Amino acid sequence: MKRAATFASLSLLTAAPSGIVQAQAPAGDGQTWRITRAGSQPSAKGSAEYFTGAVRVDPMFPATAPSRVSGGHVTFEPGARSAWHTHPVGQTLVITLGLGWVQQWGGPKQEVRAGDVVWFPPASSTGTAHRPPPP
């Protein structure tokens, strides 16, 4: 399967209904406000099912009904990339650090930098990767 490029640290915040980023924190009943303290949620390696290369996933918040959005930090080390994947209600990426590539299936590869925000519509097949370092 064709993938969205490869190679170079990209750190991003991803807000998406379920999918690759599975938040670890209990969502509770959704009716009570809650504060999740910095450092209280375990950091995890990105699953080999969803990523190639070294990827770290730090959950930020789970989806709490009626909201369907969950959020997490995903850090791609050089050479890391995601598998092609979809999100049922779309996905927003906020690039917080580094330089990377994003791509929609069949479309051109686009370079992204810190501060860029990417929207992928529902059911679009998308990939995220590090840009390779300059030769």
Binding site for its own copies (CB under 8 A): 13, 15, 17, 30-39, 60-61, 64, 66-69, 71, 89-90, 92, 94-95, 102, 104, 107, 110, 112-122, 124, 126
Between 48 and 68, whose beta carbon lies closer to its own copies? 68
Cα–Cα distance, 52 to 29 (Å, whole number)? 35
Least distance to its own copies, CB of residue 40, Å: 9
Picking from 35, 89, 87, 86, the residue whose alpha carbon sits closest to that of residue 66 is 89
Between 6 and 96, whose beta carbon lies closer to its own copies? 96
Q: Are 71 and 63 in contact (CB under 8 A)?
A: no
Least distance to its own copies, CB of residue 83, Å: 17
Spell 40-77 as b/e; 16+ CB within 10 A means b: ebeeeebeeebbbbebbbbbbbbbbeeeebbbbbbbbb
Least distance to its own copies, CB of residue 9, Å: 17
Least distance to its own copies, CB of residue 11, Å: 13
